[in-house]
Structures are given as structure tokens and as C-alpha cells.
Structure 1
């Protein structure tokens, strides 16, 4: 992006810069890539994009499977400091493609709304909505209905996505999923947590500037 030239209100390098006129400059946002309806030549995984609601969408990753084979389901939340990256970005598309192939799981990579336009708890609520959509029989995409094993639903995420996993696990302990479905497991990769006050060597200014959530 070309230099904005305005006065900076908040800056979180190397991720994002917010100007006083409200303009947001994402400094490390990788390019988006389209899904592949034909199997990937290296992994055999097919992918497609679906709409969950007016605010939430996802990319599905289907590994090689027979018509009778039921696959575990992985609902995945991408990282990026809550303010960059996407389920449709090149890096996460490649990662989910390989993860689906290696695990044999049908992956649902969630596109949630990002800060600072949508501060927390928006991402938490969007990701909870996506998990409920996966569990809801009347909402299921044909890929999930034909290939998904709803007795084996897992959630996972990296960095900010792992933070979201932590939040979802707390929520699922208090609120029942549609049909009484239970999570079979979860994983948190390099989870990112933060608070209103820095601890130890943590910087004095960080994501809490962009995410006014307590």
C-alpha cells in the first residue's frame, strides 16, 4: 500500500497501522488465493468456499475419500493477531491443504471478522457461530453431510486462532451444541494471550490497543 501521509493513531508493527481519520493499513496481510474444486496435484485435497451467515464464511478442505468413508471434522481458526491473515490467504490455504491431507480430516477453516474494525469479542462470537453451524444438521454443506463423522469433531488454531480455541472451549463447557454434539478434542498451536497490563518483558503497548475487550 502506498504511504498514507496522515497522522497515526495506533501502530502495532509489523501488523497494522490505524490513522486518526479511521483509515486502516494492514502491513503484513498476504494475498488471497481461490479454492480448488479439483484435487490438488500434490495432496489430493479439494477445497471450496461456503457462506455461514452474513458475517461469517469458511473454506472447506476435503481429502481423498470414498462415498462411504466418514472423516473426522476439524474446525480451524486462523492466526494473525486478530487483525491480519484470513482463511482465504495463501499461507493458511497451503497449511490447511496439507493438514487435511496428513490428518485425513475434513477441515472447516473459518473466516471471522477482524480487528480493529471489529474488536473482540466479535471474532469469538463469529467462531462460535461457525462451530454451531457445523453441528447443526439442517445447515450442513453436502460435503459435511456426506463425509463428516459428527462423533469426531475437533477444533484447532494457531496464535490468535489458538486464543479463540481457548475461548470456544470455555463456551462449549457452558453452552450445548446443536444435537448435543460433543467435541472430541482440541489443539492450540503457539497460543497468543494478552491482558490489560503487561507481564514481565512484554511490551507496554500491544494488541490491547486494537482490541478493547475486558
Structure 2
């Protein structure tokens, strides 16, 4: 069991080396039923202690770049919602001023981290989004949403939805004040892209967009990489059936939701959602990895969406021999480059 659990950790998380951690005081009493010792570990993301101390494991942040020497991408930080402290990092390729009026797709990137860790501003995501912008020749907005347990779900959904609404306001011509969006973005080609928890958020934002009045604005599509979907009962061949291992995922979700949302809620288990056909975009790419314990959830989502009556095109892309978010752990590998090219091609199909 110990070897299986260690294997599961490696497949479910990717923050293998942490440059720093942050301590904060927070009432952990709602989570005491989850404790089995002196601390509660959300493995790779945070530790909770009985003395109301939380240790968030994360990486240092990096500043935006006037010109990234590796990718030739420019970036700057923008404020989405001053009231909630929601911000984002905006990226453009440096070649964009020479395009003479040709506008580019916009990727709205939503980072992973178990809903409780990670940042749009840490090196992992800054470098990955820069690489995506350079490879796909797109504009990107990487959202820095509020995190659990201080801000439990649905805060991450609300923050990311507010970022989409902020983008939509720019599509009206003069409705938004960010010049990089107004000058360079083709608002007919806006895509949500996310990994693991970020992919879960992307799906839920697209569900919101499908039932919200955005005054004519519509998402073009969505890319879900190793999406964090789950449920009370195991499915498929890859998902663990051992209760001790499954409880690790259950704990992560309960901490993310403040113990208030169950495992078969459609926000975590969208294949049971009777409203799945209302997904607010017309193209979806689901990316899974063969050795990822979340693989089957991605495949089941792909099948459920295709059968739901949703009026769109969904595609499943599987990388053989890889595990969870390999593209972030080994961005220079051949498989990571192949995935990057696949995502780049997808977001440029209608550009």
C-alpha cells in the first residue's frame, strides 16, 4: 500500500521541489474530522496543524518581463477585480506590433495547484504560458484567483468567471481599458486553458458562460489538461479503488470546498450533470496522460459531453507513457513539445 500511495502522490501532483512556504493562521476546526495525526497533509500543496497554523507550499514568484530572452514574449500584470484582489499576467509575442492589424487568439490560462496552492506568477506557470504564447503566437491572460482554505470554492470559479467577463467587456469596442486586449485580440477566438484543478475551473467557467448573458460574447473553445474530475465511486481502469488512496483526493476536495460540497456534485463530477449540454463553447480538447490516475475521468468527460446533446466538437488527445502534468515537470521533453503543438494548433484552428 505504501508504494501505491507514493506512486499516487507522484501522479496527482507536480510541485516536487518547493522554493518557499508561507505560514498563515486560520481556523482549522471544520477540518478536524479529516485529521488522523498531528497534521493534515494536502500532499504537495499545504499542511494544516491543530494550532490553527497552515503551511502553504509554493514556489517563489517571478516578475513580468519586458522581453523574455528565451521565448521573446512580453508580459505585464493587470488587476481584474480590485474588490476581490483578483489579478492576472498578460502576455503578448514581441512580434505582434509588426502584424499590421492582424489580431490573435486569446488564451485565458487557469493554473492548477489543488485549488489551494500555485500562482499565475510562479516560475512554473510563467515559463509555461510564455512558451505557449511563443509557440502558438497568441495573446494570453493567466489568472491569479483566490485560493482555499481562506477562499473556498466557489471563489476560484467566481474569480475566473469575473476575468472572462472582464475580457468580454473589451470585445464591445471601448468597453474595456486594457490596450493589449483592445489592440491585439481577436475576440472571436477566445479559449479557456487549464491543467488539473485549473481544468476543473475552466470547465465550470464554461458552464457559467453557457448560461450567462455576456452581451453577445461567446467562448470559442476550451482545453482541459489532466482535468481534476472525480466522484464517490471509482471508474475505469486507471483510477485507484483503494479507499486509503481515494481518501487523499477526497481530503483535497473537502479542504478546497470548506467541507461543504460533496464528491458527486456536478462541479467535481460533471458526467452526472443534467445541464452538461449547456457548456458555453463550441470546441473542446481534453488532454490526458496514459499513466495518470485522472486519465479515465478525462475520457469519461469526453464521452459524456459528446453524448449530452451539446452542440459542439470534442476531441480526446492521449499522451502515452506519461503521468499527471508531465508538460510542467519536463517542459523540454518530446512529449511535452507534442502536447504544446497540439494545444497551439487547436487554439489557432479558427484564427
Q: Please report the TM-score for the alignment, with normalisation by the length of structure 1.
A: 0.90
Alignment partner, residue 252 of structure 2: 207
Out of 6, 17, 23, the residue aligned to residue 53 of structure 2 is 23
Question: CA contact under 8 A between 1:8 and 1:17: conserved in structure 2?
Answer: no
**Residue 173 and residue 88 in structure 1: after superposition, are their counterparts in 2 closer, same or farther (change >3 A)?**
same
Alignment partner, residue 78 of structure 2: 50
Runs (5+) with no aligned partner, structure 2: 1-20, 25-36, 235-240, 262-351
**Residue 140 and residue 159 in structure 1: after superposition, are their counterparts in 2 closer, same or farther (change >3 A)?**
farther
**Residue 189 and residue 12 in structure 1: after superposition, are their counterparts in 2 closer, same or farther (change >3 A)?**
same
CA deviation after TM superposition for structure 1 residue 171, in Å? 1.0
Q: After superposition, where does 1:54-203 map in structure 2 within 5 Å? A: 54=82, 55-63=85-93, 64-65=95-96, 66=98, 67-137=100-170, 138-177=175-214, 179-195=215-231, 197=232, 199=234, 200-201=241-242, 202-203=245-246
Runs (5+) with no aligned partner, structure 1: none
Bigger shift: residues 113-122 or 200-209: 200-209
How far apart, in 2, do the equivalents of 1:164 and 1:183 lie?
15
SS at match of 2:106: strand
How far apart, in 1, do the equivalents of 2:111 and 2:197 lie?
7
Q: After superposition, where does 1:6-17 map in structure 2 within 5 Å? A: 8=38, 10-17=40-47
Alignment partner, residue 32 of structure 1: 61
SS at match of 1:152: strand
How far apart, in 2, do the equivalents of 1:9 and 1:101 lie?
42
Q: Which has the higher contact order (CA 8 A, sep 6+)?
A: 1
Structure (1 or 2) with the larger CA radius of gyration: 2
For the aligned residue pairs, the C-alpha RMSD in angstroms reads 2.1
SS at match of 1:139: coil
How far apart, in 1, do the equivalents of 2:23 and 2:81 lie?
35
* Number of aligned positions between the proteins: 208
The structure carrying a bigger helix percent of its residues is 2
Bigger shift: residues 63-72 or 77-86: 63-72
Q: Please report the TM-score for the alignment, with normalisation by the length of structure 2.
A: 0.56
**Residue 145 and residue 3 in structure 1: after superposition, are their counterparts in 2 closer, same or farther (change >3 A)?**
closer
Question: CA contact under 8 A between 1:119 and 1:213: conserved in structure 2?
Answer: no
CA deviation after TM superposition for structure 1 residue 84, in Å? 1.1
